[in-house]
Amino acid sequence: MKKIISILSISMLLLIISVGATAAQDDCPPGLEGDDCALFTNAVATTTAGATSFALTFDNTTSIQLGDLLTLDISAAGEGAFLMADGLITTADVVMPSAETGFGGMMGGFLGESTTGAASFTLVDGMLYFGSGETVDERTFSSITLAEYPDTEADLSFGGMGGSFAVDLADAEWTTSSADGATVFTAETSFDLSDPAFLDTLVTGEAAGLVSGLAGEGLQGTITINNSVSVDPTTGFLLAVNTSTIVTFDMEALIAEMGDDAEMFGDMLSGDGGVTITLNAAFSDYNGSFEITAPDEAEAMDTFTAESALTAASDGIPALISSYFSTLATGSDAGLGGGGGGFVDNTYYGNCTTDQRTYIEGGSISLGETVSGDLAESEAATWTFSGTAGEVVSIAMNSGPLDTYLELLGPDGAGVAGNDDFSGLNSRIDGFALPTDGEYTIVACTYDGFDAGGYDLSLETGASAGGEG
C-alpha cells in the first residue's frame, strides 16, 4: 500500500521541475546564439534589475491516474501582484477564486473528499498569510512569522517565481519564434525516470533523493517536459512561462515490484498510469502601482503545518504555495472548502525495531522543543522525554530528503504509537495520550531504511489535527 501512496508525492516534485529550478546560464543553450541567446539568458537579470513591481496571472492543473485504483485532479487559476526591492520580492498578494481538487477511483475516498473553494497567499512585512474558504469573501487566514523559523531559506527572488527557467534540458534543442510582438523560446525533452541524466540535470539535492526512493519502490516510466518562455525584445523583460510535464508510468513494472500487495491491488492497477502537469504564467504591468495589505485577522499556524509548508520555501513562492495547499487537499488541515480535519492514525506497527535498524542516540527533547538530526541508511535515532499518564503530546518529524517514519516506545520499551505520512512524507504522532508515567523514547527513522539525510523533530502538548489516539 505504501508503494502506491508514495507515488503521489511526485506530483509536487514535478511541478517544481517543470517550472525549472536552475539559474540562468552564461552559456547559450543548444539552438540559440547571438542576440537570441543574450535575450534568453539575460531575461531574469534584466527583469530583476529593471522592475520594482509586476502583476501575474496563471493557471495550473495536475492530473494523476493509477489505473482503476486512483485518479486525482487539482486545478487552480488566479492572479497576483508583487513588489520587489533589491531583486527580492518583499510584498505579494495572490488570489485563486476557484481551486478544485477531485478524487476518484477505488482509493479516492480514502485520500480525501473532492473540494472546490477559494485560496490566497499574502506576504507583508515578513508575515505569510494563507487564506481558504468556499468563496473569496468567506476566506479565513492562517499566518506564519518567518522570523520564528530562522533556519528557513526562502527563495523570494524573481527567479524563484519561475523566471529562472531551466536551460540545461538535456538533449533539448531550443527554437525561436515571434508571437504578438514577443520573442518565444521553446524546447522539449524526454527522459527515462531511472536515467541518471534525469537526476543529474533536472533534479538536485532533496528532490533527487525523493525520485531515487520512488524509483526504488517500483516507479518506472518516461517523463516529457515542454518549456516555452516569452520575452519582450525591447525591454528584455520576461512576459510568460508555459510548461507541461507528462509522466507515463510503467504499470506492469510497478505491479511486479509490489510483492504481496500485487494480489490485492494488481487488477486495480491495470490500464493507464501517469501524471500530467501544466502551468501557464503571464507577467505584466511592470513598475505599476499596487496596494497590498495584510488580512484583518489571521490565526497563527501550528508549528507542524508551518514547518511542512516551509520545507518547499527554498524552491520559490509557487512551490511554497503549492506545498501548503497540497496539505489541505489531502485533508490534513481545514481543506479549501472549509472541510474537517484529516485522519489520525497513531497505530504502532514496529517498522523500525532494532532488528531492522541500527539505533543511534539522538539525546533528550523537552516539550515545546525542536531538535535536528541526520540519518544514514538503515539508521534510526532515539530521543527521550519524561511524561505523565494522561498527558497529550504530539511528535512531528519533518524532512525534505527523507520518507519519514515515527514510533514511540513506552517506559518499558514496548511500542505504544507510530505514524507514517501524516502530511506528504512527513510524519506526526498527533494528540497521543501517554498511558503511564516514565521516560518515553521517540524513534525517528525512515519507512524503508534506504534514505539518508537531515530532519527536524518537535515535541508539543495537545493535538493539531483534531484527533487523539
Q: Please give the backbone phi and psi of residue 15, each rounded to the nearest 5 degrees, phi first.
A: -60, -45
Question: For residue 160, what is the DSSP state?
Answer: G
pLDDT band at 5 (very low <50, low <70, confident <90, very high): very low
What is the predicted pLDDT for the residue at 203? 43
Judgement on whether residues 275 and 387 belong to the same structural domain of the protein: no
Residue 340 lies in a domain: no
pLDDT band at 425 (very low <50, low <70, confident <90, very high): confident
Last residue of a domain, one of 329, 350, 368: 329
Among residues 275, 276, 272, 261, the alpha carbon closest in space to that of 218 is found at 261
pLDDT band at 182 (very low <50, low <70, confident <90, very high): very high
**Statement: residue 232 has pLDDT above 70:** yes
Residue 335 lies in a domain: no
The side-by-side arrangement of strands in the sheet containing 273-284 is 175-179, 182-192, 221-231, 238-249, 273-284, 53-66, 70-85, 88-104, 115-124, 127-133, 140-145, 299-300
pLDDT band at 370 (very low <50, low <70, confident <90, very high): very high
Q: What is the mean pLDDT of residues 66-88?
A: 84
Judgement on whether residues 279 and 421 belong to the same structural domain of the protein: no
**Statement: residue 294 has pLDDT above 80:** yes
Residue 188 lies in a domain: yes
Judgement on whether residues 314 and 362 belong to the same structural domain of the protein: no
What is the predicted pLDDT for the residue at 206? 38
Judgement on whether residues 299 and 422 belong to the same structural domain of the protein: no
Last residue of a domain, one of 311, 329, 347: 329
Q: Is the pTM of this model over 0.95?
A: no
Cell of 275: 501524471
**Statement: residue 213 has pLDDT above 60:** no
Judgement on whether residues 363 and 300 belong to the same structural domain of the protein: no
CA distance 230 to 185: 6
What is the predicted pLDDT for the residue at 438? 95
Q: Which domain holds residue 435?
A: 358-461
**Statement: residue 315 has pLDDT above 90:** no
Judgement on whether residues 266 and 314 belong to the same structural domain of the protein: yes
Judgement on whether residues 209 and 64 belong to the same structural domain of the protein: yes
When divided into structural domains, the chain yields a total of 2
Q: Kindly give the residue spans of alpha helices, DSSP state H, lying in 144-295.
A: 196-202, 205-216, 251-257, 261-265
Residue 373 lies in a domain: yes
Q: Is 200 in a helix, a strand, or coil?
A: helix
Judgement on whether residues 315 and 428 belong to the same structural domain of the protein: no
What is the predicted pLDDT for the residue at 334? 38
Q: What is the mean pLDDT of residues 268-292?
A: 85
Residue 348 lies in a domain: no
Residue 338 lies in a domain: no
- Give me the CATH number covering residue 404: 2.60.120.380
Judgement on whether residues 303 and 375 belong to the same structural domain of the protein: no
Judgement on whether residues 276 and 388 belong to the same structural domain of the protein: no
Judgement on whether residues 430 and 298 belong to the same structural domain of the protein: no
What is the predicted pLDDT for the residue at 244? 83
Residue 46 lies in a domain: yes
Cell of 319: 512551490
Residue 110 lies in a domain: yes
What is the predicted pLDDT for the residue at 281? 86
Judgement on whether residues 315 and 363 belong to the same structural domain of the protein: no
Last residue of a domain, one of 313, 329, 345: 329
**Statement: residue 187 has pLDDT above 80:** yes
